[in-house]
Chains A and B, each alone.
Chain A
């Protein structure tokens, strides 16, 4: 159960809690369809029966131990071609929340996983609802591993596993909502460039030499030098500049 947020003006003024549901993003979309989508609406749950990651990847979470929310945001001010800035907003807000508990060793793994060292602590799933050729709403699904102590994927970890402490979910929720609103308003005010600078600054492997695997299986040595407005990752390998879409590149070591 979550209380609505006191220190925000948009995010989390209305919070709908479901003890369990198939996917908070889907429920949120149904509110929009029903004409009840208001900016900042939060759908929260203790347990998702069909929480989704990319495509068929199921995101499994123990009951009541993690923060699982979907936030509805009015993104009608944003061009379809600029939607990756919303992704930066979401990543930066979670990053700030997690740094608050875990210190500086928190990074964004392109495009939108949040890592502590080599462990994934948070996953993001953003769904945009387009009206014709423009953005209308974005549904921002956020799952932060908080108190759960066992995960089937080995590269996942929770705040509790990292610090040994137990956390009140409401506290994490409040902080997440506040930071999300802060960065959302920065985007709304047109601070695209500074958002991108911050995103790059906190990007895992930015300006470092690493190995990446291409779709063909071939491995290249290279360095992340930039992210395009479209969100494509730019990797410089020797004198060659590569541009990669999601699923065209895998981080190796």
Chain B
């Protein structure tokens, strides 16, 4: 959201009879309160959500043909595991691709990830663990189905570090 839009919004709110307004979009959360203890908080959301609709992984059990396949033209199959890096599970638990059932996946095939970016959540005994990518690159394949159990050190994503 641009500064002008925010300004317009605050103008709008001040002209309205509202005492408190909270607005939330993918890019920001805006909370404006009209009292003496004026509180204006703008929290830029950390995660940048792609505008594109989430890719529906129809049935991950079927040997899947990823929608985006940048390596297809010149890399023979056997070399893929050598060339690509894996993001592995640091723990036993249940693998989730999105922060909660209503949200989009953290990442999908074809997305570029950077080191430190959250790629999935692994839940163990009701403790939710945000797993970060240790390497940057392009997601080639998601190796585990959403909401399924994973073991320690199990590969979760295939990443093309190039």
Task: Return the chain B residue nearest A32 by Cβ.
Answer: B46
A18 touches B125 (CB 8 A): no
Task: Return the chain B residue nearest A136 by Cβ.
Answer: B132
A130 touches B130 (CB 8 A): yes
Supposing A81-B91, A133-B90, A230-B124 touch, asked if A21 and B22 sit within 8 A by C-beta, the answer is yes
Report if A49 contacts B (CB, 8 A). yes
Supposing A34-B46, A55-B100, A87-B125 touch, asked if A130 and B31 sit within 8 A by C-beta, the answer is no
Residues facing B in A169-205 (CB within 8 A) are none
Report if B131 contacts A (CB, 8 A). yes
Q: Which residues of B contact A134 (CB under 8 A)?
A: 90
Residues facing B in A206-223 (CB within 8 A) are none
Distance in angstroms from B35 CB to nearest chain A CB is 9
Report if B129 contacts A (CB, 8 A). yes
B91 touches A126 (CB 8 A): no
Distance in angstroms from B25 CB to nearest chain A CB is 12
B45 touches A128 (CB 8 A): no
In Å, the complex CA distance between A125 and B91 comes to 19
Q: How large is the interface on A (under 10, 10 to 19, 20 to 34, 35 or more residues)?
A: 35 or more
Report if B7 contacts A (CB, 8 A). no
Supposing A30-B45, A56-B100 touch, asked if A130 and B90 sit within 8 A by C-beta, the answer is yes
Q: Which residues of A contact B127 (CB under 8 A)?
A: 83-84, 86-87, 111, 126-128, 231
Q: Which residues of A contact B31 (CB under 8 A)?
A: 18-21
The 8 Å CB contact of B130, one of A18, A49, A129, A245, is A129
Task: Return the chain B residue nearest A112 by Cβ.
Answer: B126
User: What 1/0 mask marks residues of chain A from 8 to 28 whose CB sits below 8 Å from any chain B CB?
Assistant: 000000000011111000010
Starting from the known contacts A30-B45, A52-B100, 13 additional A-B residue pairs (CB-CB under 8 Å) come to: A19-B33, A30-B44, A34-B44, A34-B46, A87-B125, A87-B126, A111-B125, A126-B126, A128-B128, A130-B129, A130-B132, A131-B132, A132-B90
Q: Which residues of A contact B (CB under 8 A)?
A: 18-22, 27, 29-30, 33-34, 49, 52, 54-56, 80-81, 83-84, 86-87, 111-112, 125-134, 230-232, 245-246
